[in-house]
A = this chain, B = another copy of it.
Amino acid sequence: MTLYSYWRSSAAYRVRIALNWKRLDYHTQPVHLLRDGGEQHQTWYRDLNPSELVPTLCDGDVVLNQSLAIVEYLDERYPSPNLLPRHAKERALVRALALDISADLHPLNNLRVLNYLTEHFAGDKHSKVEWYRHWVAVSFTALEQRLNQLGGQCCVGDEVTLADVCLVPQVYNAERFACPMDNYPKIREICQYLETLPAFELANPHAQVDAD
């Protein structure tokens, strides 16, 4: 398998965690999102992924974009150890948490959005950093409440799931933008536990071949 990845991309980070969790061998092909205006916009990559975003996973003749679709694919194709619970209700709760992060929060704070915002909208008073922190605060407030109901060591109970795969990269990025984290003790507690697990450690941006 080949993963087209960028060390700091949250979405690529999710897939790296899932691949490690399942102990799957893969080759990392770095796509530098900043160099030369962004390698994701070059023809060779656009042919692979017309959305011009990372990650892309190639597994034989299967070429996939979208981190959550990739993790679900890995979970179906290589089910042990699983990242989605057995029962429909728990699966739905895990997926909803994953989407709370990956659909409602992360796309708002993605590189392309921050660039477009800065270029066309940001003035003297408001900056992309305020934008970033605002959406983290909105989402983490709701997430903290949900995790207090559902969480144990992990987001849903004590087993690692797709929700945890999404949580750690999001918290990593929130810390990078110095978002205040005092109001989210449950999020922090779960994250601290997850970061001790080898699958998560190995997926950390700073452990990647293309890290600056």
Inter-subunit contact A64/B121 (CB<8 Å):
no
Please report which residues of chain A, range 26-47, place their CB below 8 angstroms from some CB of chain B when the two chains form the complex: none
Interface residue? A209 (CB, 8 A): no
Interface residue? A152 (CB, 8 A): no
Given contacts A50-B146, A51-B100, A52-B142, contact A92 B121 (CB under 8 A): no
Please report which residues of chain A, range 88-117, place their CB below 8 angstroms from some CB of chain B when the two chains form the complex: 88-89, 91-93, 95-96, 98-100, 102-104, 106-108, 112-113, 116-117
Task: Report the separation of the CA atoms of residues A117 and B123 in the bound assembly, to the nearest whole angstrom.
Answer: 12
Interface residue? A76 (CB, 8 A): yes
Interface residue? A20 (CB, 8 A): no
Inter-subunit contact A121/B131 (CB<8 Å):
yes
Inter-subunit contact B122/A68 (CB<8 Å):
no
Inter-subunit contact A99/B68 (CB<8 Å):
yes
Inter-subunit contact B89/A72 (CB<8 Å):
no
Interface residue? A206 (CB, 8 A): no
Among the listed B70, B92, B107, B120, which residue makes an inter-chain contact with A108, where contact means beta carbons less than 8 Å apart? B107
Task: Report the separation of the CA atoms of residues A130 and B119 in the bound assembly, to the nearest whole angstrom.
Answer: 13
Among the listed B77, B96, B121, which residue makes an inter-chain contact with A66, where contact means beta carbons less than 8 Å apart? B96
Task: Report the separation of the CA atoms of residues A159 and B147 in the bound assembly, to the nearest whole angstrom.
Answer: 37
Please report which residues of chain A, range 187-201, place their CB below 8 angstroms from some CB of chain B when the two chains form the complex: none
Q: Mask for A141-162, Cβ within 8 A of B = 1, else 0?
A: 1100110000000000000000
Among the listed B91, B103, B126, which residue makes an inter-chain contact with A99, where contact means beta carbons less than 8 Å apart? B103
> Residues of B contacting A82 with CB < 8 Å?
none
Given contacts A113-B108, A121-B122, contact A72 B91 (CB under 8 A): yes
Inter-subunit contact A134/B116 (CB<8 Å):
yes
Inter-subunit contact A65/B107 (CB<8 Å):
no
Residues of A bordering B, CB below 8 Å:
50-53, 62, 64-66, 68-70, 72-73, 76-77, 88-89, 91-93, 95-96, 98-100, 102-104, 106-108, 112-113, 116-117, 120-123, 125-126, 130-131, 134, 138-139, 141-142, 145-146
